[in-house]
Structure 1
Amino acid sequence: MPFDIQYQQKRLSAADAIRVVMNGDTIVVPTAVGEPPTLLAALSDARRDFRGVQVAQILPVRKYGYFDPETTEHVRHTAYFFSGISRAGGQEGWTDFIPAHFSELPELLRRGMIASDVVFSMASPMDAYGYFSLSLAADYTMAALNSARAVVLEVNPNVPFANGNCHIHISRIAALTESEEPLLEVGLPKIGPVQEAIGKYVADMIPDGATLQIGYGGIPDAVVMQLTGKHDLGVHTEMIGDGIMTLVEAGVITNRKKNYLPGKMLATFALGSKKLYQFLHRNPALEMHPVDFTNDPYLAGQNDNLHAINATMQVDFMGQCGSESLGFSPYSGTGGQTDFVRSANRSNGGKAFIVLPSTAKHDTISRIVPVLSSGTHVSTSKNDINYVVTEFGVAQLRGKTARQRCEALIAIAHPDFRGELRDAALRMKLL
């Protein structure tokens, strides 16, 4: 049957398309702007018609009606990683949470350890061969497609058709709906003097020809801003944002010196501006792939000089990083931090940077602490940590003794807290 006829047969209103969902189903939704707003709004409107449905996702970016503690018996959110939209539900107990490394979510889906009955996703318009591109987030969604009973797409002409392993054929689609609303845009985080200082320390340690993995946040973006004088950088990352695009336009990123897939930038989801999304469209230098490819420490670590830059909220004297909770209260999730710390540790010449301001709450709390706050979820372990960077300097911890680590971390803590940190270290017999 011709592809255009199949398309028309499967084209439905959003209200009708969501009826492929059955009671008890888990709906897998892509990361961030890969989520389909028209379908999820329709599901929210009809949520009381369902029972026991879960919507599983990393990083939701819109607050749909189903984020409602009063209707969780109908439709409930399950987080692979919390955002500002889903965080309150996690902290109050009406949103579920599945801890996992970002890189391992596809395998958990393939093994049936995480459910995937239905997939809802944004998609590009269909090409002449019957394929759609899930360009905004290939992540775990490509694995979920293979185990799902039904796939429902929201086709939007603003979604780019990207290269890479992010395509699905019309023959595999149960239903589709159309929308034309602009894609959600996310601006660059605010950067102040603390972020600039940290960014300079990291940028100074990145050599020409390095391959970059850059996380989201003010400090990673401050690093990007200070790389404009570098040459022949490459990209192997999980998220592509406007900062990376800016370095490509400036001629800083060429991918020529990459020894693993030279000439290609790799990412698994995009988050940024309309210009960024247009940058993805059929760009021969950029490929979007599933996260078990981009974040696999063995594969990513084949890049020489891989430099990974990720943020945390708290680091203790042993180097343990609490990046995803405030004590026992969830804040974000594991994501790909450990994936890329391990990737950079494997890389010949690689460096893994964990960055954080030295204080919180208007300089009243030190983020360098003797022990993590009670109940804190450890994201990067003491055995994986390498470089820790604050606005006061760099502590290189890998291969160091507990005493050496303690001394190095106190040296980059805020001066107002160094005395009490030393006292605590003495009591702990670390100094």
Structure 2
Amino acid sequence: MSLRNLSRVLQGSCRRPLWKSVERGYYLYSPEPIHPLPDRTPDWKTAEEAVQVIQSGQRVFIHGAAATPVHLIQAMCDHGKRADIRDVEVMHIHTEGPGLYNEPEYDDMFRSNSLFVGGNSRQAIREGRADAIPIFLSEIPRLFRQRIINIDVALVSVSPPDKHGFCSLGTSVDCTRSAIQNAKYIIAQVNKNLPRTFGDGIIHQSHVDAMVECDDTLHEMKRVELSKEEVMIGKLVAENLVEDGATLQMGIGSIPDAVLAQLGNHRDLGVHSEMFSDGVVDLCEKGAITNNNKTIMTGKIVSSFAVGTKKLYNFMHNNPFVDMCDVAFTNNTAVICQNPKVTAINSCIEVDLTGQICADSIGTRIYSGFGGQIDFIRGAALGLDGKGKPIIAMPSTTKRGETKIVSTLQRGSGVVTTRAHVHYVVTEHGIAYLFGKTLRERAYDLISIAHPDHREMLEKQAFERLKCMPAPFK
């Protein structure tokens, strides 16, 4: 069967929206913008009017990160109280803002289900009032496209319609594109402050059921001053592991920021990442990022979401240098590995002496999620040019002075990156290359980059665990 015929079959099998008998025609992954639906326009409503479609027992998807539609969330929670609704499941990756649906007063109305856990959901999950799904970021769209999980109502943010009626999902395309493909009813918060971005996040207003005008200020992630340990990690990675012409992936947080801050003198860097922040803008302004050497989408920054400051959002607005894409594409290892010198820079909570990486929990307490760490760690390792570098970077100790390199992970800790996936581990004390090394060689290298105050203890614990002394690679 040809791709065109397969497309027709799949589109023909799509369910009709619950409230209006019209097929959206927006169900297959495709880089092209969706076509307008003739003779169909959204209803412009107040937030209070729009959310009245939400009923007990439904599943609601919420746009995340910088694009979190706080105005619609507030209206949904107010509606929950007024209408006495019950058992509404709220699905999302990490959202910004207060996350009202997680507050105890809404326990019987809403139950949050995180596909990646943000700070506003941790307490509710810890107390058993909310759920989390362990899943690779790259595979979240499959949940919606294969109808493993179906969405009744989607609450999203969009840029204002252009003269042709097209809007943009702005800073967060990620899994949102697949969620609205699946949703029976779409409510869009139209926000002139949301950047209009190119790529997969283009949606015609005729596919939206209700539009609500609200120009909220976008959520910002302010830059924090880097510690001396983080600065040193940035230098070690930049000077020893990032080559000119490399394709970069950065996770979120101070460690990736520390690396980016040291790359100003590099040349012809590219970006193919699940997310990016202000540090990328700085490197573009310095001419360090050109994307010229990339195999996939040459000449463009490729990402699925972005969180930063207003400087970042201004940079993204109407900028053809940036393509915001479906995370099923950005995080596909078969795509990632085709770019040159893929350098994946991620962080973690702790690593044991055999190389097991915990990045999603603190003991039994869920802290974040799998995200795209393993997508890019594996993508870099499988680089077709053999020059990929999968990197886990972290300070050697916690803020309380406890070692982050441990004999065994805390009881209940989850393994995100396995000991077979890990290649480079970096702390402020050096770089450990673990690929192809035995357990005792790994222990030796990891102890050598641990904080000096903990090395003797780790040597004793290594002997107790391995029944032999750690030894260097021959």
- Both structures adopt the same fold (TM-score exceeding 0.5): yes
Q: Deviations over 1:294-324 (max 9, x none)?
A: 1111111111101011110100011111111
Match status 1:266 vs 2:306: no
Judged with a 3 Å threshold, the aligned counterparts in structure 2 of structure 1 residues 299 and 3 are, in CA distance, closer, same or farther, namely closer
* 2:86 aligned partner: 51
Asked if the contact 1:316/1:371 (under 8 Å) is kept, the reply is yes
Structure 1 residue 171: deviation in Å? Answer: 1.9
Aligned with 2:96 (options 61, 68, 88): 61
Q: Equivalents in 2 of 1:96, 1:212: separation in Å?
A: 32
Does 1:371 find its partner at 2:404?
no
Residues 130-279 of structure 1: pairs in structure 2 closer than 5 A: 130-204=165-239, 205-279=241-315
* Contact 1:44–1:64 under 8 Å retained in 2: no
Q: Give the distance between the partners of 2:149 and 2:63, measured in 1 at CA.
A: 14
Q: Distance in 1 between matches of 2:79 and 2:153?
A: 16
Q: What's the counterpart of residue 362 of structure 1? A: 400
Tell me, yes or no, if the aligned pair for 2:277 and 2:312 is still in contact at 8 Å. Answer: yes
Q: 2:340 aligned with 1:307, yes or no? A: no
| Aligned counterparts of 2:165 and 2:53: Cα–Cα separation in 1 | 22
Cα distance in 1 between the residues matched to 2:169 and 2:61: 14
Displacement of 1:4: 12
C-alpha displacement of 1:147: 1.3
> What corresponds to 1:288 in structure 2?
324
Cα pair distance change 1:177/1:430, threshold 3 Å: farther
| Deviation readout 1:94-121 (Å, 9 max, x if unpaired) | 1111110011000122122233221111
Q: Residues 102-117 of structure 1: matches in 2 within 5 Å?
A: 102-117=137-152
SS at match of 1:338: helix
Instruction: Report the Cα offset of residue 55 of structure 1.
Output: 1.4
Counting only pairs closer than 5 Å after superposition, residues 13-92 of structure 1 correspond to structure 2 as: 13-48=46-81, 49=83, 50-92=85-127
Give the residue type in structure 2 aligned to 1:12. Answer: K
Q: Is the 8 A contact 1:161 1:281 kept in 2?
A: yes
Question: Which whole-Å CA distance do the structure 2 matches of 1:6 and 1:61 have between them?
Answer: 32
Contact 2:252 2:276 in 1 (8 A): no
Note the C-alpha offset of 1:430. Answer: 4.6
Superposition CA RMSD, Å: 1.6
User: SS state of the match for residue 419, structure 1?
Assistant: helix
CA separation of 1:256 and 1:148: change in aligned 2, threshold 3 A: same
Q: How many residue pairs are counted as aligned between the two chains?
A: 428
C-alpha contact (below 8 Å) 1:29/1:121 kept by paired residues: yes
Q: Are residues 1:424 and 2:461 paired?
A: yes
Letter in structure 1 aligned against 2:458: L
- Mind listing any 5+ residue stretches in structure 1 that lack a counterpart? none
State which of 341, 356, 359 in structure 2 corresponds to 1:320.
356
Contact 2:272 2:336 in 1 (8 A): yes
Amino acid of the structure 2 residue aligned with 1:280: M
Report the Cα offset of residue 64 of structure 1: 3.6
Distance 1:73 1:291 in 2: 32
> How far apart are residue 41 of structure 1 and its match?
0.9
Could you list the runs of 5+ residues in structure 2 that have no partner in the other structure? 1-35, 470-474
Q: Does 1:350 align with 2:388?
A: yes
In the superposition, the TM-score normalised over structure 1's length comes to 0.96
Give CA-to-partner distance per residue, 1:261-305, whole Å, 9 cap, x none.
Answer: 210110001101112112112211110001111111111111110
Deviation at 1:3, TM superposition (A): 9.1
Task: Look up the match of 2:440.
Answer: 403
- Partner amino acid, structure 2, of 1:406: A
Contact 1:45-1:65 at 8 Å conserved across structures: no
Aligned partner of 2:9 in structure 1 is none
Letter in 1 for 2:236: Y
Kept after mapping to 2: 8 A contact 1:386/1:396: yes
In the TM superposition, residue 218 of structure 1 has moved relative to its aligned partner by 1.0
Shift of 1:87: 1.0
How far is 1:33 from its partner? 1.4
For 2:37 and 2:413, the matched residues in 1 are separated by: 52
| 1:94–1:190 distance in 2 versus 1, CA, 3 Å | farther
Q: Give the superposition deviation at 1:65.
A: 2.8
Give 1:260 shift.
2.1
TM superposition shift of 1:183? 1.4
State the secondary structure of the residue aligned to 1:33.
coil
Q: How far off is 1:83 after superposition?
A: 1.6
Q: Is 1:118 paired with 2:153?
A: yes
SS of alignment partner, residue 81 of structure 1: coil
**For the residues of structure 2 that align with 1:145 and 1:199, how far apart are their CA atoms?**
38
Structure 1 pair 362–109 and aligned structure 2 pair: CA distance change class (3 A): same
Aligned residue type for 1:291: V
SS at match of 1:359: coil
Q: CA deviation at 1:361?
A: 3.9
Displacement of 1:362: 2.7
| 1:337 correspondence with 2:373 | yes
Structure 1 match to 2:33: none
Per-residue CA deviation, residues 304-359 of structure 1 (Å, 9 max, x unaligned), is: 10101111010001111111111011111111111110111111211011011111
- Separation in 2 of the partners of 1:40 and 1:362? 36
Amino acid of the structure 1 residue aligned with 2:203: I
1:6 is displaced (CA, Å) by: 5.3
- Shift of the 188–260 alpha-carbon distance from structure 1 to 2, 3 Å rule, reads same
CA distance in 2, matches of 1:93, 1:24: 19
Q: Secondary structure at the match of 1:61?
A: coil
State how 1:379-398 maps to structure 2 within 5 Å.
379-398=416-435
Any idea what the Cα deviations from partners look like across 1:200-219, whole Å, max 9, x if unmatched? Answer: 11111211111100111111
